[in-house]
Amino acid sequence: MATNPEKPAVPDEKLVRRAQRGDMVAFEELVARHRDKIYARAFSMMRNEEEAVDLSQEAWVKGWQRLKQFQGESSFVTWMTRIVINLCLDQLRKQKRQRAESIEHLDEELGGVERQMPTVTINPTEGLERSELRARIDRALNLLSHEHRTVLILHEFEDLEYKEIAKRMECSIGTVMSRLFYARRKMANLMMSYKREELS
């Protein structure tokens, strides 16, 4: 179902109400509008194209099945984003159970490497084009552990409070705080190293 750019778009709320009554065409339009955002969130957490497509597809199917429960307390896209985040967290937990806990991994959880890092005092991204800045952020996110990456995504991109992140990640607020702390330290230092690369 193509959207006509000349006509004012039907608001999401109206499409949701139609979809709640079983209108598949309205739901298709909602998928078309928010597909990229939902996929982007899945990709940012999983860092794998195939998994991100599968999980975002699963999120849309779940969204349809639970549509009657949607009361409109948040926007539809926020609600859908929460669904895909939960699916990604479940998937990451499954993967974590499958792989053995390495010493390096535990060390990273406790901030072993990040403790030794020098404090970044100047903004290493100043003067960068937005596209270049985003490319560097993407590169740096790729190097973080999934726990560090997830906590950054939930705090900085989803704007969730510590308490809410702890609930979603099934850990204590203290763990969220330390993960966020070390993730930020690592992020700042990675951005600094890209700056040095650029200058050399």
Partner 1 sequence: MNLEQQLKLQAWVDGELPDGEARQMADLAVSDESARALVGELRIAKTILVGNEPEVKFPESPDFFWSKIRREIERTENVPAEVPRVSWGQAWRRMLAPLSGVALVAFLSVVSLSVFQRGEIDDGMKYMVEVENLSEDVGSISYKSQSENMFVVYLYDKDQETETESELDPMDDSIIQ
Which one, of 19, 29, 25, 28, lies nearest residue 67 by Cα? 19
Cβ at position 130, least distance to partner 1 in Å: 7
* Angle 159-172-146 from CA coordinates, rounded to 5°: 60
Cβ at position 9, least distance to partner 1 in Å: 16
110-141 burial, b for 16+ CB within 10 Å, e for fewer?
A: ebeebeeeeebeeebbeebeeeeeeebbeebb
Give yes or no for residue 28 binding partner 1 (CB under 8 A): yes
Give yes or no for residue 178 binding partner 1 (CB under 8 A): yes
Q: Which is nearer to partner 1, 46 or 92 (CB)?
A: 46
Q: At what angle do helices 76-98 and 24-46 cross, to 10 degrees?
A: 40
- What's CA 133's distance to the chain center, in Å? 18
Judged by CB under 8 A, the residue of 20, 70, 113, 181 near partner 1 is 181
Q: Which is nearer to partner 1, 10 or 135 (CB)?
A: 135
Give yes or no for residue 25 binding partner 1 (CB under 8 A): no
Cβ at position 24, least distance to partner 1 in Å: 7
Q: Which is nearer to partner 1, 96 or 163 (CB)?
A: 163
Site for partner 1 in 30-49 (CB under 8 A): 31-32, 35-36, 39-40, 43-44, 49
**Would you put residue 17 in left (φ > 0), alpha (ψ -120 to 50) or beta?**
alpha
CA–CA distance, 88 with 163 (Å, rounded to integer): 19
| Residues of the shown chain interacting with partner 1 in the complex, contacts defined by CB under 8 A | 24, 28, 31-32, 35-36, 39-40, 43-44, 49, 53, 57, 60-61, 64-65, 119-121, 123-125, 130, 133-135, 137-138, 141, 152, 155-157, 161-162, 174, 177-178, 180-181, 184-185, 187-188, 191
